[in-house]
Structure 1
Amino acid sequence: MNSLLYARAQMGLSLAFHMIFAAAGVALPLIMVIADALWHRTGDRDYLEFSKRMAKGTAILFAVGAVSGTVLSFELGLLWPSFMGTFGEVIGLPFSLEGFAFFTEAIFLGIYLYGRGKLSPRLHLLSGALVALSGALSAFFVILVNACMNDPAGFTMVDGRPANIDPVAAMFSPPWKHETLHGILACYQATAFVMTGIHALVLLRHPSSPLFRKAFAVTLAIAGVTALAQPLVGHYAAVEVGRGQPAKLAAMEAHFETSARAPLLVGGLPDVERGEVDYAIEIPAGLSVFLHADPDAVVTGLDAIPRDEWPPVTATHLSFQVMVGAGSAMALLAVVGAVLAWRRRGIPDQRPFLWAAILASPLGIVAMEAGWLVTELGRQPWIVRGAMRTRDAVTPFPHLAAPFWTFTALYVFLGVVVVYLLVRQLRAAPLGVTGGGAPLGGTGGGGAPRASGGGEADAH
């Protein structure tokens, strides 16, 4: 591989690894705070134990995410010096705010972990809520950088450099709403599905465990809500991409020819040389209806884009299909779970559904990773669309194979360590806490707790 491919591969690998921990850093604090709030409301110590375990998991994943995020920060400067040197002033504001949010999350996570039983219950719960909020804000600001790279605003290019820079306008470039909403929701969805699958696996072996029944109920509720909301958000995002980034939309849909009554393709393998898609299920006028609510609407195809500005069509289209397929499967599971819960007036703990939850547990991560491939591959060949090409931003350093394989080994090591620590945490979990109130869906309540009872953007 040449330097450009090594740089893109290293950035892509780093981002793919980091995103898992970044998503957990956004979502696990929310689960932790919900469990803590239920403990304060019901006095059920199973919720207290669940909250403690989520806090420990948050701390482990936050630490690894901090390491991988620091590596990404260095890689932006080392692998893409022309990009950072040229556009640093444009994207500096959201990056600075992301750093502030990161340190805020770290501070309040420490307060939450070591303040239980030392702070008043309200202040302790507030510190956890601030962890959840700052984690979401950290992701929000990073996604704003990516939005500006996809559809830049807030500056004009003069002699190859940005001028008349408005940092606020650049930070809130046209795609900011749908990208942040779609991306942050994906963090909650991916994490909730993983946690639901883990708790479902334990319930298969210990179906009467009160702790894991309640944990399963909490995470399943979050997974179900996000899985049903994401198709609506995804539709909104696709419509906005079609308006502002027609080349990306055309590559996502493998839509080669500008036409009215454009078909919607399900699956398929694009043949770029022939400008056709093989093996696809075609829905007549579906893309026109999907984007414009009008079967006769014209949809821009790749034929309207200069050939040297086409994204990698096959990779973008297949990534998009994987994302949509995984999202559809999760939404279907959410509907089935809601129906079963309504019929039973309790958690859906039938063995077939538990197995389905286990099998679906990685789908959120699959969809999230595929979605980021879509947004990054679909921007190519630009690192900042219309302003700088990716090939012009890469470092001239010729020996990029060494850092690529070094960081690959680092990520493998970190992944093994994290899995080991999380498995230890899971095996150490009690199956329930006696004398703490009734399981979810049952009767009885338990008293109120006493105050002392506590025990990025990339160039891929």
Structure 2
Amino acid sequence: MSGTPGVTVLVGLAVPALTAAAGPASPADLVAARTQMAFSLGWHIVLACLGVGMPALLLFTEWRALRTGDDDHLRLVRRWAKAVGVLFAVGAVSGTILSFEMGLLWPGLMGVYGEVIGLPFALEGNAFFLEAIFIGVYLYGWGRLSPRLHLLSGVPVLVAGVASAFFVVTANAWMNQPVGFTLEGGRIRDVDPWRAMMNPATPPQTLHMIVAAFMVTGFAVASVYAVALLRGRRDRYHRLGFAIPFALGAVFAPIQIVAGDYAARFLAEYQPVKLAAMEGLFQTRSHAPLSLGGIESGGALHYAVEIPSGLSLLVGDSPGTVVRGLDVVPAADRPPVNPVHLAFDAMVGIGFFLLLLSVWFAVAWWRRRDLPRSPWFLRLAALSGVAAVVAVEAGWIVTEVGRQPWVVYGRLRTADAVNPVPGLWAGFAAVLLVYAVLTVATVYVLRRMARDSGAPETAGKGVHAPQEPEEPAQGATPVAGDRG
């Protein structure tokens, strides 16, 4: 659901002359460009996560329907498939907007470095088109392909979705670790696009983002059914609708903790200034504390809860590990501490909240093959979807704001990359209007789909009959009685 970012390079290369012709952008226009990009990315990233994770839910649930002949699994996969079709269409629109924004708002970046990072965008475009083709086959193939062939038609959707996310994140990783070129006299030479794509930041960033996408999908979908369960809809259909996606999120929650630790250790070596901002560490030192909460003021972190030597232990497995602070660079090269530090704390805190909720679910399922009985579990699960989305948004704040003032780390400042043409606030206002319409339309369509119970399934047609099955009645067999 990433749109067609391959257009970005073409747009960016078409407008590099604007920088030299118009001079530097005003501070207000720089803020407008950054705000527009942040808003667009923050809106699109939710759909991108669902684009990665929803095909996995579809494939697993359809496989269960084929294996057991179970109508409840079929009802879920048919309903989710319709939602995927809507979200894919909307995601294509928001992804295309992002593509043009990269070139139109940041010609100083794309005009100079477009040939270096063009490869992942081109590959992402191919992955997107493959995903679009097979989503069409999958949605249209209900009742027209054999059950096994229909299931297999969904595999390229999953593969292409993960590949699309991988390629796009490699481009962002390059902005954090720019390699694969030499810069001589202001000109790019000796371009190695494969080395640029597989830069040192690619493994930790792509792993962290793809795992987050599966978590967002699992907890977001499960939270919808958690609300239904709290409202008394305890039939097997709704219990399955909760258990399957929540299990997906629960499986990836501990993996994300490990991936996050891997990413933090990477930053300690390759982007120590970003890590220092994340932890509010101003002075290079050994026995560096791990700071929870707190507000930066006057060049110091106040009101934080400190775990002695915690940061040194995390990045170097020893209390004596020296951790570089913000003092290693001039003040003009430091990111703003408060948004980076607070966003990092929010991301980590939510990650551990989701991990504990997952452990609660796993223990109950292991003991009774059923959901936890406490209503507090469902109340917290109903919040898990929003929490997972907030964690992803906070993670991107850490990634992007933590790199400031650089758009290409150590090479190109954000202020030097922005489009110098005045009036960028007008463009931001237009984008806000477009996204408002998209949001209202998407919510309206999804709510209508949720209320539409569909026509009853015709007996004897099998699990791939083209009719939409009837919504199950309340009081049906609980999920613990699932066959197979």
Please indicate the TM-score interval, normalised by the length of the shorter structure. over 0.9
2:159 is aligned with 1:119:
no
Counterpart of 1:332, as a letter, is L
In 2, are the aligned partners of 1:210 and 1:431 still within 8 Å (CA)?
A: no
Partner residue in 2 for 1:94: 120
Deviation of 1:349 (Å): 4.9
Counterpart of 2:479, as a letter, is L
The worse-fitting range, judged by mean Cα deviation, of 391-400 and 331-340 is: 331-340
Partner residue in 1 for 2:48: 22
In 2, are the aligned partners of 1:3 and 1:399 still within 8 Å (CA)?
A: yes
What SS class does the counterpart of residue 301 from structure 2 fall into? strand
The worse-fitting range, judged by mean Cα deviation, of 98-107 and 22-31 is: 22-31
Residue 125 and residue 398 in structure 1: after superposition, are their counterparts in 2 closer, same or farther (change >3 A)?
same
Counterpart of 2:240, as a letter, is K
Pairs aligned (count): 441
Deviation of 1:326 (Å): 1.3
RMSD value, Cα: 1.6
Trace 1:7-156 onto structure 2 (pairs within 5 A): 7-156=33-182
Partner residue in 1 for 2:288: 262
Q: Structure 1: how far apart are the matches of 2:482 and 2:240? A: 14
Higher relative contact order (Cα pairs below 8 Å, separated by 6+ residues): 1
Once the two structures are superposed, residues 76-102 of structure 1 have per-residue CA deviations (whole angstroms, 9 ceiling, x without a partner) of 111111211111110000000000000
Which of 417, 430, 441 is 1:393 aligned to?
A: 417
2:419 is aligned with 1:379:
no
Once the two structures are superposed, residues 103-147 of structure 1 have per-residue CA deviations (whole angstroms, 9 ceiling, x without a partner) of 111000000001122112222111112111111111110000000
The worse-fitting range, judged by mean Cα deviation, of 115-124 and 310-319 is: 115-124
Once the two structures are superposed, residues 223-274 of structure 1 have per-residue CA deviations (whole angstroms, 9 ceiling, x without a partner) of 1112222111101111111111111111111110000111110111112x3x
Deviation of 1:204 (Å): 2.1
TM-score for both structures, normalised by structure 2 = 0.88
The worse-fitting range, judged by mean Cα deviation, of 165-174 and 211-220 is: 211-220
Deviation of 1:438 (Å): 6.0
In 1, are the aligned partners of 2:131 and 2:156 still within 8 Å (CA)?
A: yes
In 2, are the aligned partners of 1:210 and 1:433 still within 8 Å (CA)?
A: no
The sequence identity of aligned pairs, in percent, is 48
Q: Structure 2: how far apart are the matches of 1:230 and 1:207? A: 32
Runs ≥4 residues deviating over 4 A: none
Deviation of 1:288 (Å): 0.3
Deviation of 1:345 (Å): 2.2
Partner residue in 1 for 2:383: 359
Q: Structure 1: how far apart are the matches of 2:388 and 2:34? A: 24
What SS class does the counterpart of residue 154 from structure 2 fall into? helix
Trace 1:275-290 onto structure 2 (pairs within 5 A): 275-290=299-314
Q: Structure 2: how far apart are the matches of 1:444 and 1:404? A: 53
Which of 441, 449, 454 is 2:480 aligned to?
A: 441
Partner residue in 2 for 1:308: 332
What SS class does the counterpart of residue 441 from structure 1 fall into? helix
Once the two structures are superposed, residues 127-183 of structure 1 have per-residue CA deviations (whole angstroms, 9 ceiling, x without a partner) of 112111111111110000000001111112212232211110000000101100000
Trace 1:289-438 onto structure 2 (pairs within 5 A): 289-429=313-453, 430-432=470-472
In 1, are the aligned partners of 2:120 and 2:171 still within 8 Å (CA)?
A: yes
Deviation of 1:307 (Å): 1.8
Once the two structures are superposed, residues 393-446 of structure 1 have per-residue CA deviations (whole angstroms, 9 ceiling, x without a partner) of 111110111110111111111111111111122222454289xx965321655x
Trace 1:148-227 onto structure 2 (pairs within 5 A): 148-227=174-253
What SS class does the counterpart of residue 480 from structure 2 fall into? coil
Counterpart of 2:160, as a letter, is S
What SS class does the counterpart of residue 431 from structure 2 fall into? helix
Deviation of 1:384 (Å): 0.6
Once the two structures are superposed, residues 12-39 of structure 1 have per-residue CA deviations (whole angstroms, 9 ceiling, x without a partner) of 1110111111111111111111111111
What SS class does the counterpart of residue 259 from structure 1 fall into? coil
TM-score for both structures, normalised by structure 1 = 0.93
Counterpart of 1:53, as a letter, is R
Q: Structure 2: how far apart are the matches of 1:321 and 1:391? A: 28
Counterpart of 1:295, as a letter, is P
Q: Structure 2: how far apart are the matches of 1:108 and 1:96? A: 19
Q: Structure 2: how far apart are the matches of 1:359 and 1:180? A: 26
In 2, are the aligned partners of 1:157 and 1:387 still within 8 Å (CA)?
A: no
In 1, are the aligned partners of 2:235 and 2:477 still within 8 Å (CA)?
A: no
Q: Structure 2: how far apart are the matches of 1:193 and 1:246? A: 32
Partner residue in 1 for 2:466: none
Once the two structures are superposed, residues 293-330 of structure 1 have per-residue CA deviations (whole angstroms, 9 ceiling, x without a partner) of 01001000000112211011111111111111111111
Counterpart of 1:282, as a letter, is E
Partner residue in 1 for 2:10: none
What SS class does the counterpart of residue 183 from structure 2 fall into? strand
Counterpart of 1:441, as a letter, is A
In 1, are the aligned partners of 2:173 and 2:202 still within 8 Å (CA)?
A: yes
Partner residue in 1 for 2:267: 241
In 2, are the aligned partners of 1:39 and 1:47 still within 8 Å (CA)?
A: yes
Residue 443 and residue 380 in structure 1: after superposition, are their counterparts in 2 closer, same or farther (change >3 A)?
closer
Residue 383 and residue 117 in structure 1: after superposition, are their counterparts in 2 closer, same or farther (change >3 A)?
same
